[in-house]
Amino acid sequence: MKRSKLTTFFVGSVLALSLTACSGGGAGTTTDTADDGATTDTTAADPADITIGVAMPTQTSERWIADGDAVKEGLEAAGYNVNLQFANDDIPTQTQQIDQMITQGNDLLIIASIDGTALTSQLEAAAAEGIKVISYDRLIRNSDNVDFYVTFDNYQVGVAQGTSLLEGLGIVDSSGAEVSGHPTGLNIEIFAGSADDNNAGFFYDGAMDTIQPYIDNGTLVVKSGQTDFATTAIMRWDQATAQKRMEDLLTSTYGGTGEGLAGVLSPFDGISRGIITALQSVGMGPSIEQGLPIVTGQDAEAASVKLIQDGVQYSTIFKDTRKLAEEAVKAAEAYLEGSEPTANDTETYDNGNKVVPSFLLEVDTVNKEDIKTLLIDSGYYTQEEVDSGVSN
């Protein structure tokens, strides 16, 4: 069996004795194995001898490029070699990339999956080699071999999206408190994310738990009647698929003009832009002030932040990918140095086989007035990037 470098840093006379027993075990420990009772110090492998495989889903969405870059930079700054791959949202491409990372002897894997259920055999192979696996942003399901999960509080993302829709429609104020005498009977439509992404269910649940009471009391009306996750889910989070669904809804339910549609719950900026294109192409808007429905989003993609600045998209959810990358790097370092990463949630993320210890980060809602403080002052974007809608 080929061993990960994690297991090959023992030195001196204990080398042969220790290797098999410590496969996948910790570095930097002190071992007392020699007959003479002498203690032999072990040292962690030189990061320069370690390669970390980083599998990202796609380059079609800015956020994953930013994630990939930030993880690579962080790992390289810690001295590791990085094998970063993007998979064009194609499952066979991603499984092949991960297979290769394992056969090439990469020492640890950080994976943002495309289909969270498609990597069981890859992870089995990784475990057999003593390779630790960190699930990045999206939980890998149906496997015992996911060691750690770094992500944002995905349920809270959905709550923030639902709350933002309510706020945009004048039902709650910016503190989340219900506005007295708010409008009622407002038509909305609901979009969910990709059904094969574990996060999509959390976003949907958080958002629906937030808006359902207002649907139940008639404040909101989902005029198409399409409310369940399966019907509203957009495969692979695809912008064109979302645009087409919105066009179909406009034709079937809003007389082809969008008349009476007040808001759309959208889980991701790419989907939001597809929805907005469909709304504008039947003559709505072009801005909220001019009657465009309230549309939410997620990821603070530059193209959507520009739309928010221009008063077209109402909001997005900012997930600071720099912070997520930092947590992934910390977790990788912990494993490679022979310790365990620190979780702040050991209950929420059951992947079907086990509850995966997780580190969850908080998110922020971005409206027009938050762009400067949250995105520009923090150095996430320059004003030029926001103005052009393109990140560099």
Q: Report which of 210, 131, 217 is spatially closest to residue 164, judged by C-alpha positions.
A: 210
Comparison of 61 and 145: residue with beta carbon closer to ligand BGC = 61
Per-residue tokens: 359:
């580190």
Comparison of 8 and 266: residue with beta carbon closer to ligand BGC = 266
| Cβ(23)–Cβ(130) below 8 Å | yes
Query: Closest approach of Cβ 314 to ligand BGC, in Å?
Result: 16
Alpha-carbon distance of 40 to 34, in angstroms, equals 8
Comparison of 47 and 193: residue with beta carbon closer to ligand BGC = 193
Looking at residues 225 to 264 of the shown chain, list those that interact with ligand BGC (rule: CB under 6 A): 237
Comparison of 42 and 199: residue with beta carbon closer to ligand BGC = 199
Q: Does 163 bind ligand BGC (CB under 6 A)?
A: no
In the chain, the N- to C-terminal Cα span, in Å, equals 44
Q: Does 67 bind ligand BGC (CB under 6 A)?
A: no
Q: Does 61 bind ligand BGC (CB under 6 A)?
A: yes
Comparison of 132 and 319: residue with beta carbon closer to ligand BGC = 319
Looking at residues 316 to 335 of the shown chain, list those that interact with ligand BGC (rule: CB under 6 A): 319
Query: Closest approach of Cβ 136 to ligand BGC, in Å?
Result: 10
Q: What are phi and psi of 266, to 5 degrees?
A: -120, 140
**Which residue matches tokens 């193209």?**
303
Looking at residues 77 to 106 of the shown chain, list those that interact with ligand BGC (rule: CB under 6 A): none
Number of shown-chain residues binding ligand BGC (CB under 6 A):
12
Query: Closest approach of Cβ 324 to ligand BGC, in Å?
Result: 10
Alpha-carbon distance of 126 to 133, in angstroms, equals 8
Q: Does 273 bind ligand BGC (CB under 6 A)?
A: no
State the Cα angle at 267 between 343 and 361, rounded to 5°: 20
| Cβ(250)–Cβ(258) below 8 Å | yes
Helix axes 91-103, 120-128, angle to 10 degrees: 10
Alpha-carbon distance of 377 to 8, in angstroms, equals 45
Q: Does 351 bind ligand BGC (CB under 6 A)?
A: no
Binds ligand BGC by CB under 6 A, chosen from 62, 115, 129, 137:
137
Looking at residues 189 to 228 of the shown chain, list those that interact with ligand BGC (rule: CB under 6 A): 193, 197, 199
| Cβ(24)–Cβ(149) below 8 Å | no
Query: Closest approach of Cβ 329 to ligand BGC, in Å?
Result: 18
Query: Closest approach of Cβ 19 to ligand BGC, in Å?
Result: 38
From residue 268, alpha-carbon distances to 107, 250, 260, 324 in Å are 33, 20, 23, 18
Identify the three-state secondary structure at position 218: coil
Binds ligand BGC by CB under 6 A, chosen from 5, 72, 138, 245:
138
Q: Does 349 bind ligand BGC (CB under 6 A)?
A: no
Q: Does 299 bind ligand BGC (CB under 6 A)?
A: yes
- Which residue has the CB atom at the shortest distance from ligand BGC? 268
Query: Closest approach of Cβ 137 to ligand BGC, in Å?
Result: 5
- What's the burial of 343, exposed, middle or buried (CB within 10 Å: 0-12/13-18/19+)? middle
Alpha-carbon distance of 14 to 359, in angstroms, equals 36
Alpha-carbon distance of 227 to 188, in angstroms, equals 10
Residues within the interface to ligand BGC (CB under 6 A): 61, 63, 137-138, 193, 197, 199, 237, 268, 298-299, 319
